[in-house]
Structure 1
Amino acid sequence: MYPTLNSRQEIHRWCRNFPGTKAQISEARRFVNSYLGDRPETYTAELVTSELATNAIRHTRSGQAGGRFGVTLHAGTTLLILAVHDEGGPSTPHRCQAENTDQNGRGLHLVESLTTRWGVHGNDGGRTVWALIPLSPAGQPT
């Protein structure tokens, strides 16, 4: 399971499922944008969503005919947990070797560089890849 937020702060949670097609990656980004609005972290969250959703449709059953992926956002006052749920597959998400010069295979390196922490839970029947993004206090630039 992914981390939880401190129960003493106000927590907001949004989730939505998307058909497992490339066209829906931009819809997932719009979903994140509609949740975060003009916060300084919005672009980072959109980029992380794009990478994780792309992996879901490329590497799991979510990208097969009739497949779906989900995006869940949990936000407290200082932290956003962004999670992408897929329909599973034979391999577990992992970072490729750093010397990989191909355009493919570097998404989780990007996710790692943009977030505080990320991880995976689940099995070949369905997985969740989550990432933690710090939030600046409301009204303050990063």
Structure 2
Amino acid sequence: MYPSASQASQDERLLAAVAHCAALLPFVGVIVPLYIWLTQQDWSKFVRFHAIQALIHQIVMPAATLAVYLLGIWGLYGTLMGGLSGGSQGALPSGMLALRCTLVSIVLGSWGLTITLGLLGVSRTLAGRDFLYPLVGRWLVTHIDGDNVS
């Protein structure tokens, strides 16, 4: 079982909130929970759990977004090359704009979701309530014992 927020001190809740708040920092947000996890893992099980949870979430979300984006770009490139070699003079394939809009929506939506979940983690941990990221938190609870998050 993971450490409960109701048993954590105010300092522990503050450090956990800082780890979650790092989601607001694009591209460098992983440094904060990594630093907290490395420096505080022997001090508090609660801080250790939330730092590793935030770290995994802030690695997985951008990586998944990048993978979807790159697959979309690959599809966009393939569509463009297929349309240009088909003999149409200067006309772009009809689905190209829709694909580009979809890719931008996925990237912006993923970024917004990462920030929203990070802020939710901040507010819940500061309020002394338990918080798990939807997929990462549950996975962490089932695969890593709260006492051995290292």
**Considering the TM-score relative to the shorter chain, is it more than 0.5?**
no
Structure with more helix by fraction: 2
Q: Which of the two has higher C-alpha Rg?
A: 2
Structure with more strand by fraction: 1
Structure-2-length-normalised TM-score: 0.34
Structure-1-length-normalised TM-score: 0.36
